[in-house]
Amino acid sequence: MFINGAYIKLLFAGHDSYRHIDSQQAALLPYLKTFVSHYRVILLLIILMAIILVNFYYQTDYSNYSKLKLINGWLIIDAIVALLPFIVITPFGPRCIFGSYTLIIALLVINLTARLPHYYKILTPLSLLALLFLGFYFNQISLNYYQTNKLSQDYCQYQQTLQRKDFYVINYSNIDYLWSSNMSDDPMFLHFFVGDSNHKIIAINYEDWQAYAPHYKVGDFQKFEQQIIRQHK
């Protein structure tokens, strides 16, 4: 990210129409704190670190091992450096980690190919099967997140027209695959779609509003809201 002209300009201007410095509202560290709060992510990080350490110190007999160690070191350093600007630059989201993700994938592939002389016979079919499965699995998860986020945005915009203090924000089913908090606790979502900090935010759990979803017609929130208010008075 250091070579991106938009981020270089921030060093001199401090902000532009989209990015800014010295705000922790949505920068890297708060997102990482949310992300690593899940035990599965912590376990994954431990396994990844163990693989990296074993790879550095495991004694092997192939001739280019010293070169491989150097490549590994540079890939890890580059993956970390690519994220460093986002300690102070906001906003930060999943797209900002794509470069680091690509470098880590390269690290894993390079080491597998070095240790498996006929890797393509094994990895190609396994990779295709894994990608097909993961693509379908995460497509369903992403669709649910998108539909929930869009409905919550539209519902918040509808409530803006009512000019009241209580603000009902519908939540995701879970945030296991998100970097952010649920929408009723997400400062960025509340800033853009609720706005007034004087509003009292009332969170509507996924299971609750899903019971009303069959009665919802696109753009017509009246009956949908009546059911929410009735249960949460």
For 37-79, the pLDDT digits (tens) are 667 667 777 877 777 677 666 645 455 667 777 888 888 888 8
How many alpha carbons lie under 13 Å from residue 60 in its C-beta half-sphere?
17
Domain count, the chain: 2
Same domain, 216 and 103: no
- Number of Cβ atoms within 10 Å of the Cβ of 204: 20
What integer pLDDT is reported at residue 149 of this predicted model? 92
Q: Nearest-CA neighbor of 92 among 174, 150, 23, 37?
A: 23
Question: Do 23 and 98 fall within a single domain?
Answer: yes
Closest by CA to 205, choosing from 158, 181, 173, is: 173
Q: Are 26 and 70 in the same domain?
A: yes
* pLDDT value at residue 64: 62
User: Looking at per-residue confidence, does 91 or 192 come out higher?
Assistant: 192
Are residues 15 and 29 located together in one domain of the fold?
yes
pLDDT the model gives residue 94: 72
Q: Which of 142, 174, 191 is the last residue of a domain?
A: 142
Among 142, 157, 192, where does a domain finish?
142
Q: What integer pLDDT is reported at residue 221 of this predicted model?
A: 84
More confident residue, 39 or 82: 82
User: What is the spatial distance between Cα 56 and Cα 111, in angstroms, rounded to a whole number?
Assistant: 10
Looking at residue 143, its pLDDT comes to 92
DSSP state of 63: T
In degrees and rounded to multiples of 5, residue 176 shows phi and psi of -65, -30
What pLDDT digit, counting tens, does each position of 124-145 carry? 788 788 888 988 988 999 999 9
| Separation between Cα atoms, residue 96 and residue 154, nearest integer Å | 27
Please indicate, yes or no, whether residues 72 and 110 belong to a single structural domain of this protein. yes
With a threshold of 0.75, does the pTM exceed it? no
Q: How far apart are CA 120 and CA 150, in angstroms?
A: 42
Single-letter amino acid, residue 42 = I
Q: Are residues 93 and 137 in the same domain?
A: yes
The pLDDT value recorded for residue 23 is: 53
Q: Which pLDDT does position 1 carry in this prediction?
A: 54
Q: Of 104, 122, 142, which residue sits at a domain end?
A: 142
Residue 22 — very low, low, confident or very high, per pLDDT cuts 50/70/90?
Answer: low
| 85 shares its domain with 184 | no
List Cα–Cα distances, 184 to 4, 133, 190, 202, 229, in angstroms: 33, 32, 7, 7, 16
Gyration radius of the chain's alpha carbons: 23
Average pLDDT (211-231) is 76
pLDDT tier at 148, thresholds 50, 70, 90 = very high
The two tokens of residue 136 are 């379908």
At 150-205, the pLDDT tens digits run 999 999 989 988 878 889 999 999 888 887 789 998 888 888 888 877 788 999 99
Q: Are residues 131 and 221 in the same domain?
A: no
Per-residue confidence (pLDDT) for residue 145, from 0 to 100: 93
Q: What is the pLDDT of residue 169?
A: 93
Say if residue 116 is in the same domain as residue 191: no
Structural domain that includes position 135: 5-142
Query: What pLDDT is attached to residue 98?
Result: 82
Mean residue pLDDT across the chain: 78
